Each structure stands twice: as structure tokens, then as C-alpha cells.
Amino acid sequence: MVRRILFILGCIMILSSVTSPPLALADSQVVIFSETQQLLTGVNYAVSGTVPVHHTICDLDYGTGSYDVLRNGVPLASSPVAVGSSQTIVFDSPGGGQFVIAQHTGGGADTIPPTGSVVINNNAAYTTSLTATLTLSAFDTGSGMGTGAEMRFSNDNVNWSTPEPYATTKQWTLSSADGTKRVYARFKDAAGNWMATSVSDSILLDTTPPTGSVSINAGQAFTSVTAVNLTLSASDTGSGMGTGAQMRFSADNITWSAAEPYAASKPWTLTSGDGVKTVYVRYRDAAGNWMAAGVSDSITLDATPPSAPEPPLIMP
């Protein structure tokens, strides 16, 4: 018997209907569809006869993942059929019948877990709070990350939170004590496949302010002018005193200057009037922790010259 191949629009022209119309085909034929904008809502066609039929649905420009194939309402053993590299699905049926092909939306046939990522506090390097915002992303080419998809989290990759519906953000509490904190995440697709290996991100938790000192005019005891130079030193074992670190100053420990980037020295003007002058400094580390109490140094301002001596008393 001569085997005929039927090209439905020949894999060349484009179907214009949203859903393809039912088609009655003869025995021992190849079924080929093309340009399947309609595949998202399904292809529906009938094949008559009892001999095996080879089916090809090609040009899946708008399809991803896999497609469910039902013959007379029952999934074929090969269903769902994955989309190949040529954007084509190919399958065989033991005979004719009514065929419905629709994009796969979930089920046990999907055995591949999703991929994903987690980002803490929008990729910030430091945080001063135990409460963090996680930005989440997961992708699954099979059943997807819709209804039924879940996620769970851990601070140690051993003890995990209760699974919850997949979302793109999550408030999370970091473990206590300063240091590098890593948050782990695992995602489950709609078919129930959990990631075997977690994804993670880390951030430095720094809740401890820096320590520091200030010296006026290199530790001199007196000055005759109000213009002095401050020698500054601060250290921080967490986020450090690099980019983002700041300092501010006061002459009375009440009213403070505007914060400015941390530096090792600064010119300063003492208040007028002779007497002991104190300069207070507070430092902030790169994570944002200000010292609760300022450090200080003092110097005596003596701007008044000595008085001229009285002339000696001459006795007659």
C-alpha cells in the first residue's frame, strides 16, 4: 500500500484560526500542523482507521516545554511530549481516533525540577537588621511555577521552613550574631519536583558600631589660636570604615555637625574665649552603625598675651 503524507498547510503556510478545526484523515497518514499560535488553546483533529499513525506538529513558535497528547480522551503512553530543538513534537499512535494536543500544565510526567535564584536586600553588601527582604526567581519549562509551586528557606541548609506558595518576594529573619549570613532557598514546580540542590545568597550582618579616637593638634596641651587640626582614627571589625563610613563633630556634645565621609584628619575651629576646649567626635561604619557616645579630646585655648610688668618702685 502506498503511504501518503498529508501536509496540513504544508508546514509552510500559517494557520489563521485560533483553534484548528477537526479534520477527518484517511488510514496510514502522517499528520502535520504548522505555525501554532493556536497551540496554547489546543489542536483538535480526528484520524480514521486502525493502522499506526505517525504525527508531527511543527513550528511551535509560541510553545515551550511539553504538550499533552490525548487519543479518545486518554493520554498516550508517550504523553507529555517534549518540544524538540526544531520546535517540533513527534509521536506515534497505534491507530486513529480523536486527538487533542494542548500545552502541558503539570502532572507527574514532569520529573525535572525548576531552576531559580535568591537575592538578599537587593544585593546589598551589609545590613544592620536581622529582618531581610528576599527577591526570588524560579523557572520551570515543564509544569511551571503556577498553582501548586512552592518554596522553602533555611539559614543553615539543614533545617528548612515549612513549604509555602511560590512568590517573588519574602521577608526572612537572619540568624543572630554579627557575621556573614547565608540564606538558602529551594523551589518546587507545579508537578511536585523539588530542587535537589539549594540556591543561596549571603550578606554581612553588622550591628556593632565602630570604635575610635580624636587628638587635637597632635596632643598639644595649649593653643593660642582657634584654628586647630584633628587627627582621627576609627576601626570596625564588621563592615569596616571604607565607603559609606562617616563622622560628625561637636563642641558641646549636643549640637552636631552634618555627617561627612570618614577621613584621618580634619581642620576644626574652636569656640572663642580662653579656656579648656573639648571636641567630640562620633563615627559610623559602612553598614550604618553610629557610635552611641562620642569620643573627645581637650586643649586649652590661651589667646591672651601676658600683661606688661609694672615698673620697679624707686625709693628716694
Q: What pLDDT was estimated at residue 94? A: 82
Q: Is the pLDDT of residue 14 over 50?
A: no
Angle at 303 between CA 301 and CA 304, to 5 degrees: 125
Q: Contact 55/103 with Cβ under 8 angstroms?
A: no
Q: Is the pLDDT of residue 108 over 80?
A: no
Band (51; pLDDT cuts 50, 70, 90): confident
> For 129-149, what is each residue's pLDDT tens digit?
999 999 999 999 888 899 999
Q: Is the pLDDT of residue 54 over 80?
A: no
Judge if pTM exceeds 0.85: no
Q: How far is CA 180 from the centre of its chain?
A: 16
Q: For 70-82, what is the mean pLDDT?
A: 73
Q: Is the pLDDT of residue 70 over 80?
A: no
CATH numbers and ranges of domains, the chain: 4-103 (2.60.40.2750), 115-205 (2.60.40.10), 211-301 (2.60.40.10)
Q: What pLDDT was estimated at residue 235? A: 97
Dist CA 249 CA 59 (whole Å): 70
> For 287-298, what is each residue's pLDDT tens digit?
999 999 999 999
Strands, sheet with 164-165, edge to edge from the N-terminal-most edge strand: 126-127, 199-205, 179-188, 150-154, 164-165
Q: Contact 235/189 with Cβ under 8 angstroms?
A: no
Q: Contact 206/238 with Cβ under 8 angstroms?
A: yes
Q: Is 285 left (phi over 0), alpha (psi -120 to 50) or beta?
A: beta
In the numeric block, the cell 526544531 is attached to 86
List residues bridging with 119 in a β-sheet: 135
Say whether the peptide bond before residue 80 is cis (omega within 30 degrees of 0): yes
> For 236-274, what is each residue's pLDDT tens digit?
999 999 999 999 999 999 999 999 999 999 999 999 999
